[in-house]
């Protein structure tokens, strides 16, 4: 499932972006839910899991993850949390965007084998991101084959990270530190989504309700196993 579900999430995002005429408000609601769900799973499950498995001070690695994500978002333009601006005249393959998103997806794959809820949080996060990336690429003059290649590799990065994390003995010795870095990445992404979920920081009842639903679902999912 750690291999199949992230790929299906990207394909679902592609299908929605290509075949369905969606409203930006609907994607923002899905983003808000995914951000709340990812943040809740990280705080309620992932952080306690990491601290239970180490006596070392790993706070510095969590902060390193936040800094790493800041750098990646500078390169990607914020695609990880739903911000992309297309240039219709651009026909070149967006290598910087591709590399930054691939690094992000690779890292988020390392811990998803820990719990089903963490896997689900990553999958839910991937769907709106994939929709936004596909919509961005469709508006450019990139060839369909280039877009397909972008999506295939992006979809494979998370399972690859999971595979490397599970079957590389060298990395197993440092897995708790890698997990801490991923916590920082998740914290930054999820909080950025929530903080930017409303224009001009105005109160939006529908997004607030969706965020609460994401928190409640994560809580009961985490306490259901």
Integer Cα distance of 182 and 69 in angstroms? 9
Question: For residue 15, how many other CB atoms are within 10 A of its CB?
Answer: 13
**pLDDT at residue 160, rounded to an integer:** 93
| Burial of 113 (C-beta count, 10 Å sphere; 0-12/13-18/19+) | middle
Is 128 strand, coil or helix? Answer: helix
Q: How many domains does the chain have?
A: 1
Identify the residue whose tokens are 């609907």. Answer: 26
Integer Cα distance of 180 and 162 in angstroms? 15
**pLDDT at residue 106, rounded to an integer:** 94
Identify the residue whose tokens are 């992230």. Answer: 6
**pLDDT at residue 187, rounded to an integer:** 96
> Could you tell me where the DSSP H helices lie in 139-199?
144-167, 169-172, 175-195
Which structure tokens are listed for 4?
A: 């199949």
Q: Residues in the chain with pLDDT < 50? A: 89
Integer Cα distance of 225 and 117 in angstroms? 10
**pLDDT at residue 159, rounded to an integer:** 92
Share of the chain above pLDDT 70, in %: 88
Q: What are phi and psi of 27, to 5 degrees?
A: -65, -40
Question: For residue 167, how many other CB atoms are within 10 A of its CB?
Answer: 9
DSSP characters over the chain? -TTHHHHHHHHHHHHHHHH----HHHHHHHHHHHHHHHHHHIIIIIHHHHHHT--S--HHHHHHHHHHHHHHHHHHTSGGGT-----TT--S--HHHHHHHHHHHHHHHTTTTS-HHHHHHHHHHHHHHHHHHHHHHHTS---HHHHHHHHHHHHHHHHHHHHHHHH-HHHHTTHHHHHHHHHHHHHHHHHHHHHTSSGGG---HHHHHHHHHHHHHHHHHHTT-
**pLDDT at residue 124, rounded to an integer:** 92
Domain that holds residue 41: 4-17+24-222
**pLDDT at residue 36, rounded to an integer:** 95
**pLDDT at residue 90, rounded to an integer:** 61
């Amino acid at each position: 499932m750690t291999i199949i579900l992230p790929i299906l999430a990207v394909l679902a995002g592609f299908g929605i972006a290509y075949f369905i005429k969606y409203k930006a408000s609907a994607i923002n609601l899905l983003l808000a839910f995914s951000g709340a769900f990812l943040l809740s799973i990280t705080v309620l499950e992932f952080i306690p899991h990491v601290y239970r498995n180490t006596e070392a001070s790993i706070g510095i690695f969590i902060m390193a993850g936040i800094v790493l994500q800041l750098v990646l978002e500078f390169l990607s333009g914020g695609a990880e949390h739903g911000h992309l601006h297309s240039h219709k005249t651009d026909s070149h393959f967006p290598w910087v965007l591709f590399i930054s998103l691939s690094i992000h997806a690779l890292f988020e794959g390392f811990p998803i084998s820990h719990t089903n809820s963490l896997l689900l949080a990553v999958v839910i996060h991937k769907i709106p991101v994939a929709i936004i990336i596909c919509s961005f690429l469709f508006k450019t003059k990139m060839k369909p084959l280039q877009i397909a290649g972008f999506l295939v590799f992006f979809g494979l990065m998370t399972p690859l990270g999971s595979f490397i994390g599970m079957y590389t003995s060298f990395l197993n010795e440092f897995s708790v530190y890698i997990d801490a870095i991923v916590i920082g990445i998740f914290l930054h992404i999820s909080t950025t989504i929530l903080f930017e979920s409303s224009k001009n920081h105005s109160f939006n009842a529908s997004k607030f309700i969706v965020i609460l639903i994401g928190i409640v679902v994560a809580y009961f999912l985490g306490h259901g196993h």
